[in-house]
Structures are given as structure tokens and as C-alpha cells.
Amino acid sequence: MQELMRSNDAVLISFVDALLNDADIPHFVADVHMSILDGSIGVLPRRVLVDPDHIDQARRILKDAELGHELS
């Protein structure tokens, strides 16, 4: 898996997750449960990891959604 993006913004992560699900791109949102360690203050960002065979397509989808500035 390759990192597509990382963010502390749970709404943004949910939106990217939905975009990738709609496009049937295999991905995984990592560090979702890390808030247990940081006390729910959002210090540790969540990462969106994508299958390497689909990373270019995933990047294109984020750019088309005007989220290119969020790419890792």
C-alpha cells in the first residue's frame, strides 16, 4: 500500500474514502483508532493508503475533486 494522503480532518478523510469507494479503488484508512493514544485531540493524522496498482487513478480522482493540494 502507498500513502495517498494524510490529514487530521475526519470529514476530509471520510470524503476521500467515499470517492475511492465509488471508484472501486482498493484502499485502507490507517490510524483511525489512534485517538485513543492522543486523547482525541487530533494530533495524529489519519492516512489513506491505496493499492500501488491504483495510486495514479486515486491521485487523478483527488485532483478532479480539487483536493490535489492534500496529496502526499
Q: Is the pLDDT of residue 17 over 70?
A: yes
Q: Is the pLDDT of residue 54 over 60?
A: yes
The residue extents of the domains of the chain are: 2-70
* CATH number, span 2-70: 3.30.70.790
- Global pTM reads 0.83
Q: Is the pLDDT of residue 39 over 60?
A: no
Distance CA 36, CA 68 (A): 30
pLDDT of residue 33: 72
Mean pLDDT score across all residues of the chain: 89
